[in-house]
Every structure is written in structure tokens, then in C-alpha cells.
Structure 1
Amino acid sequence: MCVIICIAFFVVAPAGAFTADSLNITVAANGDATASFRFTLDGVIENAIPLSLLQDQLVKGLATSSDPPQVISFDKSEATLLLKNFAVTNDVPTWTEYRTAPMDFKKAQIALENSAVSTVISADFSPKIISVTFPDGYSSQLTGSSVLPSITHTVIDPTKAAASAMNASATGALEINSSPEIVRVYIDGTYAGESPGPFTGIMPGGHEVMLEADGYLTLTKTVMVNASETTTLSEVLDAAATPTRKANAPDAGAVFFAVALAGCGVAARRRK
């Protein structure tokens, strides 16, 4: 009787367990990531379950993009995977923003539970410790979570920042003080915006600056701009002259009226 109960126990109850211990994800500069997934196999599962089956379920459960994870190495305690496009990158001149994909460990657990070995395995795919490390060494950690949420992190690129600072120091700026206050500014024939500015990123040297405003005469000046300095240009635009009649010139309306009167006089004499 005891033998029958024991046999029934091994048939019905799981003979071993899969327990996730830790997941360490290292994000590369291009957004790909390497994941080190450590786990423990207890009981007869350690020798009974084919590693290929466990590997397949783990790959399915940890997929975060249309590209399935690539297995780098796999044994009875640790799997190393390449996660393509794990993080979306956004590059700007001085830094890169990384936004990682979320990961639901229940997917791997459900996949294993729906497999052929579900009757002999009890699985817990939620790592006790999760860490995500970015290219600058910053690391975000979670404990006891069944879901890894999306993480956004900004990585400052020292090389880009230094180059940007060097470029900024190699140029100058121009600020316009004018009357009227708002004028259209052209630098070397190219429209740069409206005053007062400042207008930045101007290479050192002489530049032709043209100021325009409706109702005013256009003014053009040659201005010297120095690196790492702001040059101020203060100018008053002359009002455009309004058209005037010459002093002795007859008014067009008066001429027309005189012609009309003359015509009426001629007609009157003919009637007589």
C-alpha cells in the first residue's frame, strides 16, 4: 500500500523545482544587453529534465523584442543570453538616453507550466534580485519582483560634452540693442531671427549685419565677433521718409477740376 502511495505521489506531485536566484542585465552602448540568469534546480529535476527544454522555455519567457534572445551559454545553474534591442536609445550632442524594455517573468513560468514537464516541475521564474547596469556604470536594482519595469537613464558622454564645450568656446555671440526694439537681423546675408538676440555660434571675425524693420531705412554694419565673447551692437534706425509733393507742383485733383470747368465754359458759349 505504501509503495502505491509513493508511486502516486511521484506521478501527481512535482518531483523537483526551478527557482530563479538572480538576473543581471548589462546594457551595451548600442542598446543590446547581456543577461546573466542564475537559477537553482532542486530534486531529481536536476538530472531528469533535458536542459534543451529548459533553455527553450527560458528563451521564450525572457524575449523582449521581435528578436528572440540568443543563448551564449547554458548549464544547470546559469544561462547567459544576448538580448537584442533591449533598450531604445536617443542620441543628442552631449548625452544618450536609454529606455529599457519591460520584462514579465511570469511569461517564462507559464510557458514552463504549459510544457510536457509541468507535472514534475514547480517553477518560480521571478528572480530574488534583479539589476540593470548601463554603459556609464549606473545600476538599478529590484528585489522580489515578478516584473522588471521599463527604466529610463541618461548617459552623459564625456567626449561629446568636451567637444561641445570646445565648439562653444571657439565661437562668439551677438546681441542687438536697437530702436525700434524689434528688428529683423541678417548675418552675412542669412536671416538669423529678430532682435535683441543673443545670436550664438558665430565664428570669430568680421561679419556683415543688416537690420530691417517696416517703416525704417535698412541699416548695414560690419561687426567683429570674438571667440567666447558676446559682442553688443546698438543702433538707431532712421524712419523712412514719406512721399511729399513739390512746392510748385499743381495738385492732380485741382488740375482735373480746372479742366472740367473749362469744358463747361466751352459748352456754354456754343449754346449761345
Structure 2
Amino acid sequence: MKILRSKVFRIIVFLICIGVIVYESIGLYNDNKEYDVADTEYEELIDDVVSETSPSELPEGANYPPMQIRYSELESINPDFVAWLYFPYFDISYPVVHENEIDQYLRTTFDGTPNKAGCLFTDVLSTEDFTGYHDIVFGHNMRNGSMFGKLKKLNQTEDQENIKQNPYIYVYTEKAIYQYQIFAFYVTNVGSDAYKVVTNDEEYEDFLKYIYSHTAFKKPESLDLSNHPCLLTLSTCSGRSGSGRRFVIHAAKVNAWAQN
């Protein structure tokens, strides 16, 4: 009888394990299917509203990637659209919206489709024209590398060295194009001072002190922050979902070109 109970127990445990594997597999399949839908949406959007122009067509002295964005078309799709973000090193290229309420775009794509991939968005306290002391753009850490899924590569020594050759992020707004230079990145927690609201020069200096005490990347000596250029933070999840860990990149505005 004892042997029989032991055998039944092992069978039950085995069936439970199989059930868990099947459940997880179905969830993974459904997630990947949903991610594919989001990827297709953004790929089609890029084809429709973004085009490359010749470098010779850039204004004199401008050296940003020659991209032409159809702002009016993007605004017609989503009135919350505020900019296009392009991060050449990781080939990250997406529209950015400004949320009107907390987590509005956490699980909603640019065209309003419910989807776990969400959309890149600035938080409610950031400026819509990227002219504040500190603006923040959030994006999901997608397993397939989409959205901000590639940012975690900066935890690798090779990418930490290579990013120095192209440390720029570009934000294209309807009125201006901004170039930001990366000067810090690190893992932090939800609600930490990495998300600090900065409203004056004194708070700016305190924010820099916090960044310097946590960064895994040394600020280039050629980058001068004494005149308090606008700061941009990119934020995504780090580690297990629900862990509260975040990976952030801080960059400073080093160039601005007015749109015609």
C-alpha cells in the first residue's frame, strides 16, 4: 500500500509539472504572437511616416541623421504624439507619446491597440517639447529586443566600450531636432531619485550628484554640464517582471536644430 501511494504521488507530481510546462508554453506562445502584432504595427508605421533624406539636404552645420518625419500624419493617428526617438547604436526608432494619466500607454500601442508591448511614452511630469530640466521616456524591456529591449546590453562590457563611439540619442519634434549624449547608466529601483523631478539649478546639481554616485559609466571629460543642459532619461524594466528593478540611461542635450 505504501509503495502504491508513493507511485500515485509521483504520478500526480509528474502531471502537475507537465501542466505547468504546458501552461507556460501557451502563455509564451500568446505573448510572442502579441509581440509580433506590435512589431508589425511599428514596422508599417515607420514605412509610412519616416523616410531618409540626403545628408546634403540638412541645414548648414547640422549633423543629425537625415530622417524626415511626417508629424501631421502621426498626430492624426494619435493626438498624444510628441516626438520621434532614434537611438542609432541600438537601431531603436519609435514614436513617443505624452501620457495624460499614469501608465496610460503601458499596454497600449501607438494606434490605441491593447498590447503588452505598449508604446514609448513620456510621463505626465515631463515637458511635451523636451525642454525641461529633466524629461523621461519609458519603454518595455521586450524579450525579442523591440522597444527598449536592447538597452540591457549596456550591462555587457563590450557594449559599454562600443557605446563610446556613438553615444547619441536623437529626438525629432515638430519644431526642433535634439541630440543628446549619454553620460550615465545603471540599475535602480522604482521610485528612486533616478526619476527625480528637477525644477531649478540647485535640484539639477543634486540630481547629478545622485547620478554620479550610481553610474556604471564614466562621464566623458569633454561633456560639460555646468550650464545645465536639458537631461533625458530612458527607463525600462530590469530582471524579472514585477521585481521593481529598472535600468536607466541618462543623456544631456548637446545640440538643437530648429525645424524649417
Q: TM-score range by the shorter chain?
A: under 0.3
Higher helix share: 2
Higher strand share: 1
TM-score by length of 2: 0.22
